[in-house]
Amino acid sequence: MSQLVTRPSGAIAVMENGPLVSAIVVTRDREAHLRECLGELMEQTVSSRMEVIVVDAGSAQCEWAVVADLQQRYANLTALKLPSGAVCRGVNMALKMASGRYLTILDVTDRLRRDAYEQLALVLEQNAAAMVAYGDTCFTAIAHESFANHTSYGKVIWPDYTPQQLSQLSEVAPHLLWRREVHDSVGYLPEGYPNHGLREFLLNVLERFRIQHINEFTGLKLIAAVPQSAPQQAPQPVEVPSAPAAAQAVTAPLQAEPAPMPTPGPVTVPSAEDAYAALRSQFPADDIEQAATMLRQHLAKYPRHAVAHNDLAAVSYQLGDPDQALVHYREAVALESDEDVYLKNLADLLYVETGQTDEAINIYLKLLERSPRDVETLLNLGIICEGVGQPNAAESFLQRALEIEPANMTVRERLSELRQNAAVPVAPATAAAPAPAAEEEDDLTAEDHYLNSQELVNRGDLAGADRELQRIVALYPDFAPAYNDLAVLAYQNGDKDTARRNYEKAATLAPGNSTFQKNLADFYFVEGYDVDGAIKIYLEQLRKEPRDIETLMNLGKICTILDRPEEAQTFYGKVIHLEPWNRDARECLDTLKQAANS
């Protein structure tokens, strides 16, 4: 597998004159940060004019499933999955895919001021000679903080760059925004990204164009904490060499917040999280045994620190000690039973190393109940069920995974192999019924044709994709995904009657497919065609998946429009109970309460 591209399976985002900003989010093994990062991006003041492309650079975690889930909510979210070690190639591919007037790249742990892209885009709009804009940067050593509410670990006021400066700097402003057409002149990111790629890119730009610095803090960068052994030392978020004497007179110095003066008093014992943040920055890169020793020493002081148990389990497994890995994975789950990553790690180890399939299946089913659209969990359940002689259950799980991610070749190949193994042997030629002429001329399966249609969509050939989908429904009139995608394309072209017929056909052929049912309900509701029908579908989906945030939000909106505020408050309240951080639900609920009070 070289790459996979997925786009939302529901309505396609259509923006007048195209997106203003294309934001490329780079992630690898940062699942815990991804949903939070994308959620904050979708709250940018220009979010309605943004396109977001996630580049999964060979992650071993479940970022792909997180994106697949969020694509049901955000029609402007695309994902690109590549093998490990292909970060630069993946980012450049995303830059070529992007359709925004302005482009930007950020790491999944970065956070931005809510109007950052609006301010940077405005600078470029007002200064036609500038090709790149950038602001100043705040730093924190504590993960999962926002720009608006973070613990400062230093700030940098970047200088107005000159070629002489840039050639000597090891770090540059991380949150750049640039015009798309600059790549026509200077090419894309050079090899060396992320270490020095942005600096080289800026040097190439400065050879021909101007770049614009604004005196505003626009972004927050997560850095490793300074070890606890040096509390008096001022934090240094970025290590930048001094400019030459000739340049120092015209460049703004980097400024870091002064370290607080030590005050007398009792020694404060660092929390487990703070101690572990300092410890991880000291892990040896190539000595796994030393890392295991350091983890054991940490757990001797903080025996109830779940993340350290999880990491020691992973290190123990790398050292060839699955028994110790199992002990620590179980301890991590016992301490934080709601953390999906720990549960997945435990289930994987139980199945792969110990063959305890019953316990592994129970864990995966629990995870599936929490996240019904988690493709990795569905795939694992399919593999296990196939291994224990339950092919029908395996096919069901794999089919659901394929409907969520039609371009997932791992799932597709596994499902195809399962069906081939379960196929009934062909009768002798003398007794066989003649095959339909259409199938004699076409050796491809419906899934093969469907994959071709997805590739055409990815290349932007929507007319070709439409023809391929029409061919599928002619050859395989019961293949529901083709009808669903025909509906999406028809809706994009303004043919709402055809879109409705195809949405209804897909929902009829696959009544158990939540995506097709929701797409039909969305159409009924948005177009005002059958609001009662939409409510009926949403309620049925809620009965099957009572924790489905999207369905709860849609029901809340419908009840608000129908002037049924008590029911709307109930649905929004359930969302907040499941996701206390969900700002959309909280704002909707606050609006309803204010209306009731007035």
Q: Which tens digits make up the pLDDT trace of 249-259?
A: 233 333 444 44
Check: CB of residue 344 under 8 Å from CB of residue 354.
Answer: no
pLDDT band, very low/low/confident/very high, at 235 (cuts 50, 70, 90):
very low
- Look at 75-79, 207-211, 268-272, 502-506 and tell me which has the smallest mean pLDDT: 268-272
pLDDT band, very low/low/confident/very high, at 8 (cuts 50, 70, 90):
low
Per-residue pLDDT at 327 exceeds 80: yes
Per-residue pLDDT at 164 exceeds 70: yes
Per-residue pLDDT at 409 exceeds 80: no
Domains and CATH numbers, the chain: 4-248 (3.90.550.10)
Tell which wins on pLDDT, 226 or 20: 20
CA-to-CA separations, 461 to 243, 444, 445, 452, in angstroms, rounded: 50, 21, 21, 11
Per-residue pLDDT at 421 exceeds 80: no
pLDDT confidence of residue 439: 40
CA 594 to chain centre: 34
Percent of the chain with pLDDT over 70: 81
The mean pLDDT value for 124-147 works out to 89
- Give the β-pairing of 77-82 and 4-6: antiparallel
The mean pLDDT value for 313-322 works out to 85
The mean pLDDT value for 386-402 works out to 84
Task: Write out pLDDT tens, residues 52-64.
Answer: 999 887 777 878 7
Q: What is the DSSP letter of 303?
A: T
pLDDT confidence of residue 244: 32
- Look at 77-86, 333-342, 365-374, 490-499 and tell me which has the smallest mean pLDDT: 77-86
* Number of C-beta neighbours around residue 598 at 10 A: 5
pLDDT confidence of residue 41: 93
Per-residue pLDDT at 369 exceeds 90: no
Per-residue pLDDT at 336 exceeds 50: yes
Structure tokens, 559: 């009840």
Distance CA 148, CA 220 (A): 9
Per-residue pLDDT at 245 exceeds 70: no
pLDDT confidence of residue 263: 43
Nearest to 179 by CA among 21, 353, 43, 37: 21
Structure tokens, 178: 């640039």
Per-residue pLDDT at 149 exceeds 90: no
pLDDT confidence of residue 71: 84
User: What is the average pLDDT value for the chain, to the nearest integer?
Assistant: 79
pTM for this prediction? 0.42
Per-residue pLDDT at 140 exceeds 90: no
- Give the β-pairing of 111-112 and 210-222: antiparallel
pLDDT confidence of residue 450: 82
Opening angle at CA 139, ends 137 and 144, nearest 5: 120
Helices assigned H by DSSP within 423-493:
437-440, 446-458, 462-475, 480-492
pLDDT band, very low/low/confident/very high, at 331 (cuts 50, 70, 90):
very high
Per-residue pLDDT at 125 exceeds 60: yes
pLDDT confidence of residue 443: 63
Check: CB of residue 589 under 8 Å from CB of residue 573.
Answer: yes
Tell which wins on pLDDT, 279 or 225: 279
Identity at 25, one-letter amino acid code: V
Distance CA 504, CA 460 (A): 26
Tell which wins on pLDDT, 387 or 427: 387
pLDDT confidence of residue 86: 65
Per-residue pLDDT at 275 exceeds 60: yes
pLDDT confidence of residue 118: 94
- Look at 216-230, 482-496, 514-528 and tell me which has the smallest mean pLDDT: 216-230
Give me the long-range contacts of 246-251 (CB less than 8 A, separation at least 24).
247/162, 247/164, 247/165, 250/162, 251/159, 251/160, 251/162, 251/165
- Look at 30-34, 183-187, 326-330, 403-407 and tell me which has the smallest mean pLDDT: 403-407
pLDDT confidence of residue 133: 95
Tell which wins on pLDDT, 373 or 263: 373
Per-residue pLDDT at 282 exceeds 80: no
The mean pLDDT value for 438-447 works out to 59
- Look at 124-128, 275-279, 421-425 and tell me which has the smallest mean pLDDT: 421-425
The mean pLDDT value for 322-351 works out to 87
Residue whose tokens read 């997106």: 19
Per-residue pLDDT at 446 exceeds 50: yes
pLDDT confidence of residue 152: 79
pLDDT confidence of residue 413: 77
Nearest to 325 by CA among 295, 286, 304, 300: 295
Distance CA 394, CA 396 (A): 5
pLDDT band, very low/low/confident/very high, at 430 (cuts 50, 70, 90):
very low
